[in-house]
Structure 1
């Protein structure tokens, strides 16, 4: 989180005389709440991810309002309680949007089935290699996202919690981290540092540079750092993550 540059707050690390306005960390250490700058946080705990992912904010750079900034200084417990209430409201709103989206998708599917004509039976086309007596050449399986930018590769990540995720580039250039296979509650599975859940696309929309999202995913990999794969073949993703094509 951060405050306006003109409203800096004092770092609570003993011996530190600096004031900070960006990358502010609130830490409960031994029953005491401390407001620390990022440098002192790393020195005190050994790294930015030493305590795991932040419960609130998650690296999103939330700019505190003047009222929240005053609470940070005078009543940090009350500020955390406000953040908790906001997170709960956001979770409930996301769950409601997801339920409505699934209901609309189900209704559309039922309508399309009702209006679809009976399938006609046509002879299967003869592949060119069949006339030559040769063996069929392998084909490149299509990726399952119609919104994916053509001729771009993907990166796949299998996390320690058993979930699989794929980095995909959108037609408009946005980057998404999508679950594969998808599962109930995926929109609450990853922290804000990865991105924001986009229910229409079905994945996390990366906010800003993608490096933070990749760093987090690699820190959670089932096979340890750098055990993700980058590929232009969907068959490679299926072999790595499993699931139905």
Structure 2
């Protein structure tokens, strides 16, 4: 039986083990559980992916992607596989076997950095969004894009509902959340919501910016924009910097059973 999430439950949690497998002082840019909750996958600025067995509290293995970079690593519904977005060379999404570190398939189509990936728990489908003003529907069994939605604004975040029939798309510039039927993703949304939360203010000093936004040498730059800046610097032969105060570690928690 599932335990309801409450404020008291969250306050009773405490760190049980600290994992520090990413290069010290480099940000972790994505973290994802599989649908069973047993395995956890992280990706970082250090161009590595790490797999953890949460149930056993152990680090399973590292995967390095120095040639293509890595971002938004997501575990798929198929055991021991993941997809991740490239940050170097091109904007291809790569389907990787975690068993032998071999690429199973490449998903080509985006012409700018991928901003988000959303995996379906019930089938082989996943959705991607990118700075090329598009949202794409994929099936891990085929390299061909299943459908493409061209958006008016940059789709910054996406999510699939538990039934995998609705995709939510958030456009940060317009502050609008749109809901689309997956089966008709290229059509107009069946509902839109104007989000009433305020956009983050522009800080004049680095210290005023939340630490999780202090990436690279540009104050307050979001992770996805930071990747664009990093790619530009790499192409120009320039050195990029990472905030030394951002720890590249994750902690697992368990309920306090006092």
TM-score by length of 1: 0.25
Larger helix proportion, structure 1 or 2? 1
Q: Rg larger in 1 or in 2?
A: 1
For CA contacts below 8 A with separation 6 or more, give which structure has more relative contact order: 2
